[in-house]
Structure 1
Amino acid sequence: MDIRHLRLALFTGNYNYVRDGANQALNRLVGYLMKQGASVRIYSPHSETPAFPAIGEVISVPAVPFPGRSEYCIPIALPSRVRRDIKKFDPNIFHIASPEYLGHRAVSLARKSNLPVVASVHTRFETYPRYYGMPFLEPVIEAILRRLYRRCDAIFAPSESMAQLLREQRMSYDVRIWSRGVDRNLFKPEARDPHLRHKFGIKEDEVVIGFVGRLVMEKGLDVFSDTIDELVRRKIPHKVLVIGEGPARGWFSRRLPQAIFAGFQTGESLARAVASTDILFNPSVTETFGNVTLEAMATGRAVVAAQATGSESLIDDPSMGRLIRPGAIKDFADALQSYCENKELRKEAGYNGYKRSECYGWDNVNQILADNYLSIIQARQQSGQAPRLKPRS
């Protein structure tokens, strides 16, 4: 089967109305598949003010704002007009990219139509309640995710560490890898910009600890700020540069009044900002891959990250950076202090990370997913029926 015969129906709760690593990866995937001659149709909530132009044709599905996080939408239906469009499009595989109502309904439709369906895992949703004082919900969310993923022909994790976690959680009998790439034309050591540092009041010999990402509590903002407090108590000279925006901006700026907030950045400006730091500090445990970690590595920055899914598959500790037990403030501070005080150690970790980043190209990782689509379609055509669900164990 040739990729030009691929007809992919992609279902996601967020395709382009908020810019994050997951939906940017989906847009890159769609662009790559279309260039190869595949047909793709996207079913997702629509926004009058999208964060960036969508790649491919998007069919709008009904949605409402998420309570307390109105920048996100919750799909609430798969109406008849959308079902008619799906039938007219005549896909030969479904791809579910978010595990909400739309995803569950799409899986049911695929199984009713005897079409193969896969899911990609982009974040650890089951961990989110712990950041909002409701950790008792984690087992419930995990059970809901398990029900969805076990009804799919296969699920895709962005890293082997995340794939292993999904196996341990008994999410699927078939867990495969769809990795992530980095645009090395943008993210490179040469992107470092002394003028940008000067603009932010940073001297060339000052060590800058960077935070990159959406400013939301589940990114580990509390751990980041507690660790910076510990460095201040130790009197370790440093500057903090926060690259990103989000609903927790006010909380974070009050918590770290000495930090420099660069705001939302993208493209070349993002690459310059990342390359103009000296250390990336990523304490988050919710990522399944860690796009910001890979981008920092591609610019030659040393990385201190939580020992969690995603980062574990990218960083060899200690040669490329440090992996620290999640929430271990003292250990995070120790790692950052060693890089702040030892320029050569920092440069060595950055160089080793840069060499590792050379393995990650977008076309390669997207072609691997396309090959998996085709093999799953062929397997379904040969068997003639959906895979049976494994009994709970």
Structure 2
Amino acid sequence: METLSAVKVAIVTESFLPQVNGVTNSVCRVLEHLAAQGHEAVVVAPGPGPADHAGAPVARVRSFYPPFYPSFAVGIPTRRVTAILRDFGPDVAHIASPFVLGTSGLAAARRLDVPALAVFQTDIAGFARRYGLRGTDPLIWWWLRRLHSGAERTLVPSAPVLAELERRGVPRLAHWGRGVDQDRFNPSHRSPELRGRLAPDGRAIVGFVGRLAAEKRPEMLTRLVGVPGAKIVIVGAGPEEERLRRRMPDAVFTGFRTGAELSELVASFDVFVHTGADDTFCQAVQEGLASGVPVVAAAAGGPLDLVRPGVNGLLYAPDDGSELRAAVAALVNDVEMRRRMAVQARESVRGRGWDAVCEQLMGHYRDIVDGTAERRRMEQAA
């Protein structure tokens, strides 16, 4: 792929550090890649939080915390975003998961005639349903279609979600997946000592990693109580934790973990379970696969691109707890199938490192920057 000459990228994101989620993770990896390749970036994000990342300054805007999700900062749209972009002078605006603050990013790009690339990353309609906001789908999709229509290109992380956006009438779509750190998530981190502490009786370790909140449907894990030969390990924290602890007294709850601790935990699982049904990609599933762990996931959204049933894991009907339990029990009871799938799990994500994925993104930047330059030349000639 042709290398893009030095470029200035303004990233307007709905979520950033210290919040840890898929949007934050991908923005951080993009910033690190831009810095390593000699490009320049600025970030506009809800606050509070660190003032820079990978050498890029982070401009914080006012935010509020929704009562139904008090740990998530929602940026308030503001004309200040236009001032930030005008001072920085970007070649391209990267709008990460636009919904609220992203409106200001797209408006600023339009005012300044800067080409804008939007990244669709959050199933807002599905999220709203999980928090009791039923009947809002038509309004949410109308708003998302309007927002993304203001971008030169919208990048979508998985084939099922791309098909959904096409059906919803969102224009100018392209696929852009997500990378995984294959050193950090690697079978080499499997720890016999940790396994002995988690399951001293030698049971197969069935692990979950994620926020313990409604959008991840952790209550589905209660369907695994009493699976013969299984020890449930839950990595994460959130408002549903206490309820789960009461209903799953035999499970191990590790709390929120990152870094080397998380790498060791995931690689030490025998089965990786994912309960979410609204994921546009699902980085946690990809990290489990990279760690050489067969995955059991709901047959919806991003996991459909990642899990190949019978090869690197199993899928279950999203709302069928009996299917989830049966899939987990099948893997727990068949050591040879687990071993075979573990090898294929690692193979299935080979070549999906962040460097390769970010280079694909640079190609999208180049396309819309070149397209805008050509449009300007034609306007001047006319």
- TM-score normalised by the chain length of structure 1: 0.91
Alignment pair present for 1:214 and 2:208: no
Match of 1:238 in 2: 230
Alignment partners' CA distance in 2, 1:236 and 1:68: 37
Alignment pair present for 1:105 and 2:101: no
Match of 2:274 in 1: 282
Match of 1:297 in 2: 289
Alignment partners' CA distance in 2, 1:139 and 1:354: 39
Q: For 2:355, give the aligned amino acid.
A: D
Equivalent residue in structure 1 for 2:367, among 375, 378, 387: 375
Alignment pair present for 1:44 and 2:45: yes
Alignment partners' CA distance in 2, 1:315 and 1:251: 29
- The aligned runs of 1:195-206 (5 Å cut-off) are 195-200=193-198, 202-203=199-200, 205-206=202-203
Alignment partners' CA distance in 2, 1:319 and 1:215: 28
Alignment partners' CA distance in 2, 1:46 and 1:144: 24
Work out whether residues 98 and 121 of structure 1, in 8 Å CA contact, stay in contact via their aligned partners in 2.
yes
Q: CA deviation at 1:357?
A: 1.5
Match of 1:21 in 2: 22
SS at match of 1:19: coil
Work out whether residues 44 and 60 of structure 1, in 8 Å CA contact, stay in contact via their aligned partners in 2.
yes
Alignment partners' CA distance in 2, 1:365 and 1:128: 26
Work out whether residues 3 and 36 of structure 1, in 8 Å CA contact, stay in contact via their aligned partners in 2.
no
SS at match of 1:344: helix
Alignment partners' CA distance in 1, 2:213 and 2:152: 33
Equivalent residue in structure 2 for 1:261, among 253, 268, 276: 253
Q: For 2:253, give the aligned amino acid.
A: F
SS at match of 1:95: strand
* Residues 2/360 of structure 1: CA separation in 2 closer, same or farther (3 Å cut): closer
Alignment partners' CA distance in 1, 2:129 and 2:250: 27
Q: For 1:70, give the aligned amino acid.
A: P
- Post-superposition Cα deviations, 1:172-205, rounded to whole Å, max 9, x if no partner, equal 2x111221111111211121112112333x1373
SS at match of 1:164: helix
- The aligned runs of 1:1-393 (5 Å cut-off) are 3-48=4-49, 54-55=53-54, 56-80=56-80, 82-172=81-171, 174-200=172-198, 202-203=199-200, 205-225=202-222, 227-229=223-225, 232=226, 236-384=228-376
SS at match of 2:272: strand
Alignment partners' CA distance in 2, 1:378 and 1:110: 16
- Post-superposition Cα deviations, 1:79-133, rounded to whole Å, max 9, x if no partner, equal 44x4333211111211111323221122122122222111112221110122222
% of aligned pairs identical? 27
Unaligned runs of 5+ in 2: 378-382
- TM-score normalised by the chain length of structure 2: 0.93
* Residues 91/337 of structure 1: CA separation in 2 closer, same or farther (3 Å cut): same
* Residues 53/222 of structure 1: CA separation in 2 closer, same or farther (3 Å cut): farther
SS at match of 1:368: helix
Q: CA deviation at 1:247?
A: 2.4
Give the superposed CA RMSD: 2.0
* Residues 296/188 of structure 1: CA separation in 2 closer, same or farther (3 Å cut): same
Q: For 2:295, give the aligned amino acid.
A: V
Q: For 1:179, give the aligned amino acid.
A: G
Unaligned runs of 5+ in 1: 386-393
Q: How many residues are paired up? A: 376
